[in-house]
Structure 1
Amino acid sequence: MKTLTIALFSLLSLAYAGEPVCQQCDYRPGYNLCDITTSCTFVWGHDDPSTPAPYYCACRAGYRADNCDAGDTTKQFRLPWYGTPGGDPSQQGRVFVKPGLSCNTLCDDYTLGKDGCKAVQELDSCL
């Protein structure tokens, strides 16, 4: 039985190994683990009003996480974040990172605003 339990646990952990994780931050002083180069930001604009909106560590505009591949969704991601209910583009170029990571690396296309930082993957599931 012990061997079966270990085998099952191993298979389950493999099934979730590649899944992106949208790690939230805690905005309260003393609990906020965001690096000083980021800000714990309330992300509004999601479709389900019964679900509380998330808080993520947001990089400055045009920047992404340091010391990682731009496509590494376990460390950074973008969101389909619109400015109005009509769907006007707003913050799609903003990069969000795992708490504790710094954001001092310029995106390749940092001057494009909402169309910038596209090397960082957009994750609909995090909004």
Structure 2
Amino acid sequence: MKVFTITAISSLLTLTAALSPPYEPVCETCVYTPNENKCDITTSCTYVWGHDDPHTPGPYYCACRHGYRATGYEANNMEVQWRLPWYGTPSGDPSQEGRVFVKPGVECNTLCDDWYLGKDGCKAVQEKKWCM
């Protein structure tokens, strides 16, 4: 009976996980005014234009210097850092796709792998499309 119960619970948990929507970590924004800006000194509170949702204002995120990512965290930690599908011109030419954004207070002093590739660099940091 114990084995049946454990198997049933395990199956139920697997089914629940399979039917749950994928987890989308929050994209923490920053406030651009100096007295309220909580971005680390190694980042800058940056307005992300090109935001498609007309019901919300364009977000401000703490942006790392080009080619850098969060220090002290794994590159794939989406709770702390992310990239965006941020194109530079109305014609769709990519511009800031390689830039890494972090939650306020996080330091950006770690060079990305392939940092020298411009928009194609920092691919180890995951993209959060839902934050655009």
Is the shorter-chain TM-score for this pair beyond 0.5, marking a shared fold?
yes
- In 2, distance between residues paired with 1:62 and 1:96? 11
Percent identity over the alignment is 70
Q: Secondary structure at the match of 1:111?
A: helix
Report the residue type matching 1:108 in the other structure: D
Amino acid at match of 1:78: R
SS in 1 for 2:118: helix
Deviation at 1:85, TM superposition (A): 1.6
Number of the residue aligned with 1:82: 87
Q: Distance in 2 between matches of 1:23 and 1:105?
A: 20
What amino acid is aligned across from residue 86 of structure 1 in structure 2? S
For 1:57-68, what aligned pairs fall within 5 Å after superposition? Answer: 57-68=62-73
Partner of 2:55: 50
Across the aligned residues of Structure 1 and Structure 2, the Cα RMSD in angstroms comes to: 1.4
Q: Which residue of 2 aligns with 1:113?
A: 118
- The 2-side partners of 1:29 and 1:91 are apart by 24
State how far apart, in whole Å, the 2-side matches of 1:58 and 1:81 are: 12
4+ runs of 1 displaced by more than 3 Å?
A: none
Question: Mind listing any 5+ residue stretches in structure 1 that lack a counterpart?
Answer: 1-14
TM-score if structure 2 supplies the norm length?
Answer: 0.81
Unpaired stretches in structure 2, ≥5 consecutive residues: 1-19
- 2:31 aligned to which of 5, 10, 26: 26
Q: Which amino acid aligns with 2:36?
A: Y
Amino acid at match of 1:41: T
